[in-house]
Amino acid sequence: MTDATKDTVVAKNADALIQRDRAGGEPGRRRVVLGLLAMLGLTLDAQTIPCARAADAPLVMGIFPRRHATLTTELYEPLAAYLSRELGRELQLVTAKDFDAFWDGVEQRRFDIVHYNQFHYVRSADKYRVIAHNEEFGLGTVAGALYVRKDSGISAIGQLRGRKVVFGGGTDAMMSYILPSYLLLQAGLQPTDYETIFSKNPPNSLISLFHGKADASGAGDILIDLPVVRNAMDTSSVTHLGMTERILHLPWAVRKDMPKALSARIQALLVGLKASEEGRAILTRAEMTGFGAASDVDYDPHRRIIRKVMPAMTIPR
């Protein structure tokens, strides 16, 4: 069976389950539908995700498409199951096929718990309250970076004038576009001074550089260490050309109208994961080493950089 045929079968199964669910089928079927849609990378509209304000309503956890939809679902299913069990509530894990589709869910407040990039949080701070941040490779901070091939002959950012730079995800990618663009600005290069291209996601930006499709890649400084990148290319062939200051890692936030007691419980569960064997296994599956507590003021350095790169951007508080 081809991939296209498999997708068709999954889509038909999902559609059938939706019809049963609407007809009053078992609650478990709804979870299956959400999982199938996530695997297909489909967006979910306001009718398929409840506002989840009632105390017994399912909680919706949205994970941004840092990686492709199927892998995202696999990485975070154990965490979703753990939170559901500890909170005593059904929790629905969803993602999206791309950044634009995911951002629509953020704008519509379809997620009760949301994991996204720093730029997403800064733009949605009027709707969501940050409670935690990622720790990866033992670090709770991350830097933006520009990468080049070691055999490129490029040794300074200024040499990228007139060259092709590939960024990952789009202009809303904090680590793979905004921070590398900040590096270029600091070196005196305006966006018109180099050719900008985009890959589908951050890992692909570095992989594109490896295959010679660009002269430089914009990404996070730890991207080179991710398994999805190491398994796809010879990482020893590329190097950092420059890095920004370190800023707090990827945030986790909750809806601002979530009860404070529930928000505090979710934060405690996340931060406490690395204290138990079960928690460490969940973190390992999600390719993380822990969570740290976070508050809004921790993202002020991000706001400062965003204002430099996007001076016309309106940033809520």
Per-residue pLDDT tens over the stretch 213-242: 999 999 999 889 888 899 999 999 999 999
The ranges of the chain annotated as CATH 3.40.190.10 are: 41-139+248-309, 144-244
Q: Would you say how long the chain is, in residues?
A: 317
Per-residue pLDDT tens over the stretch 280-317: 999 999 999 999 999 999 999 999 999 999 998 888 87
**Residue 41 clears pLDDT 50, i.e. is over it:** no
DSSP state of 136: B
Instruction: Identify whether the C-beta of residue 206 lies closer than 8 Å to the C-beta of residue 147.
Output: yes
In whole angstroms, how far apart are CA 179 and each of 102, 148, 172, 174, 246? 21, 16, 11, 6, 10
231, 71, 254, 202 alpha-carbon torsion, rounded to 10°: 40
Instruction: Identify whether the C-beta of residue 289 lies closer than 8 Å to the C-beta of residue 137.
Output: yes
The mean pLDDT of 58-67, rounded to a whole number, is 92
Instruction: Identify whether the C-beta of residue 40 lies closer than 8 Å to the C-beta of residue 69.
Output: yes
Tokens of 10: 């999954």
* Strand, coil or helix: 103: helix
The Cα 284–Cα 242 span in angstroms is: 29
**Residue 26 clears pLDDT 50, i.e. is over it:** no
pLDDT at 54: 66
Architecture of domain 41-139+248-309: 3-Layer(aba) Sandwich (3.40)
The Cα 131–Cα 270 span in angstroms is: 9
Architecture of domain 144-244: 3-Layer(aba) Sandwich (3.40)
pTM confidence score: 0.77
Q: How confident is the model at residue 53 (pLDDT cuts 50, 70, 90)?
A: low
Question: Helix axis angle, 69-87 relative to 27-40, nearest 10°?
Answer: 150
Residue with tokens 């996070």: 220
Strands 144-149 and 290-293: unpaired
DSSP state of 155: -
The Cα 7–Cα 132 span in angstroms is: 35
Mean pLDDT of the chain: 86
The Cα 305–Cα 180 span in angstroms is: 11
Percent of the chain whose predicted confidence (pLDDT) is above 70: 83
Rounded to 5 degrees, what angle do the CA atoms 236, 199, 133 make?
75
**Residue 50 clears pLDDT 50, i.e. is over it:** no
Q: How confident is the model at residue 6 (pLDDT cuts 50, 70, 90)?
A: very low
The Cα 300–Cα 259 span in angstroms is: 25
